[in-house]
Each structure stands twice: as structure tokens, then as C-alpha cells.
Amino acid sequence: MNIKNKANSLMTEFKQFAFKGNIVDMALGVIIGGAFGKIVSSFVANVIMPMVSLVMPSGTNYSEWKLSFHRGTEMVDGVEVAKIIDIPYGLFIGEVVSFFVVAIVLFLVLKKFLGFMTQMRKKLKEEEELAPVVEEPAPLPAEQVLLSEIRDLLKEQVKRE
């Protein structure tokens, strides 16, 4: 097999793989999931967390909430500068809230979707159980078939006479 045929075969296999319904559905799910994540992040950062900041006694924006640790001083260009390590826990809390919003929405959607699917399965199963079952009669034994044929032949002879 030459290189051109191998390349065409590889392309054909790739097309079959890439354009199967499952791959396209999964790609759409990833795109929609990314967009949903951006909406949730914006909702949390621009609506929920500012409301939380209003309730907090300090009144500062949640992005400014941090723990600061002083680690001494150092000389930078002849000026003594404090070494400070900040842990921005406010941003972390915002991300945790985003996670919970996504988790709650997914739980509700999946719960409703799975509940709907379960109801549909039950309904289909009930319909199958209620549908009249047409049973074909069991085939007659060979002896009975032969006797029936003999009977029918005798009836025809009697009618001819």
C-alpha cells in the first residue's frame, strides 16, 4: 500500500471518528459548559460577592480580603521595603461560591432530567405490559397434521361421488 492510499485511509477513519454524533455532542457540551462557567463566574463576581461585601462589617470589596504576613524587610535600590506575603482568601471564597452555584444548577438539571427519563422508562414499560400479547397457537404435532390432511382428502372424495 502506498503512502497516498494510507493517508486517504487515515483521513477516512478520522472523518468517521470525528463526525460521529457522540463526538459532536460532547464538543457542544464543552462549549456550552464553558459559556455557562463564564456566566456563573460573572454572576458570582458581579452580583453575589458585592452583596456579601455590603453585609461584611469592613465594607471592603471581597477581592481585597486577604491575610498579610510580614516577613521582615529588605533593601531595594537603597530603600528599605517590607516583605509581605498576601493570601487573597476573598478571591478563593468567590471561587468556592462559583463552584457551589454550578454544582447546585447541575444537581437540579440532572435531577429533573434523570427524573424525567425514569418516568419515561416506567411509562414505556407499563405500556408494554398493558399491550395485548398475541400468542400464536402451538404447532400441531406431525401426527395430527397428517390425520387432518387425510380427513380433508376423504371429505373431497365423498363430495365427488
Q: What is the pLDDT of residues 93-144, one digit of tens each?
A: 888 888 888 888 888 888 888 888 888 888 888 887 777 766 777 888 888 8
CATH superfamily of the 3-130 domain: Large-conductance mechanosensitive channel, MscL; domain 1 (1.10.1200.120)
Give residue 1's pLDDT: 57
Give residue 133's pLDDT: 65
What are the structural domain ranges in the chain?
Answer: 3-130
Q: What is the pLDDT of residues 1-13, one digit of tens each?
A: 577 787 788 888 8
> How many other CB atoms are found less than 10 A from the CB of residue 97?
19
For residue 80, pLDDT beyond 70: yes
Place of cell 365427488: 160
Dihedral angle, C-alpha 33, 34, 36, 38, nearest 10 °: 160
DSSP state of 138: P
Give residue 91's pLDDT: 87
Is the full-model pTM beyond 0.85? no
Dihedral angle, C-alpha 7, 11, 17, 23, nearest 10 °: 130
Asked if 49 and 41 touch (Cβ cutoff 8 Å), the reply is no
